[in-house]
Structure 1
Amino acid sequence: MERKVTAKELRNKVSSVLREVRRGKEVFISYRGKEIAVLKPVEEKVSKEFNAVGFGMWKERQDLKDVEEWLAEKRKPRYSG
């Protein structure tokens, strides 16, 4: 089942609209007579697994061995002193 609301109605009754979405209904939002968005429930069981892509990718960089020194070098053009 679906429901249609205007942007103004959504703004004024957001809690009741979200309550319907939690119950599994799709809510179509219109602005100036045209449908522009759909609110619908999220898929169940979102995976929270750790994604290790990029983890440790800079571990071999020699210029980052001393982070404070690296930052001081990068900031040198902006701050003299």
Structure 2
Amino acid sequence: MKATAKDLRFHSKELLDTARRGEEVLITYRGKAYAKLVPVSGEIDLAKNPGNQLFGIWSDNSETTEVEEFVDKSRESRF
């Protein structure tokens, strides 16, 4: 399905319902394809996202358990 940016502005609920039904909606702006509204296929787990390799990199670092203290300590030399 195609929709204009104006359609998106004034009929967003209907376009979201269309995507929820499993259809893709191509959003055009001034006659050119600009974005695509697609249905989400399941829940997204950021921790398992292979594109985000730095997620949780400091999870086992004992110095960062208290984040505010860690940040204050690391900023002491600047002020």
Report the TM-score, using the length of structure 1 for normalisation. 0.63
SS at match of 1:11: helix
In terms of fraction of residues, the more helix-rich structure is 2
SS at match of 1:21: helix
In structure 2, list runs of 5 or more residues that go unmatched. Answer: 49-54
Counterpart of 2:28 in structure 1: which amino acid? Answer: S
SS at match of 1:8: helix
Q: Please say which structure displays the higher CA radius of gyration.
A: 1
Out of 12, 18, 29, which is 1:31 matched to? 29
How many residues align structurally? 71
The separation in 1 between residues aligned to 2:5 and 2:27, in whole angstroms, is 6
Runs of 4+ displaced beyond 6 Å: 64-67
CA-based RMSD: 3.3
Report the TM-score, using the length of structure 2 for normalisation. 0.65
% identical equivalent positions: 31
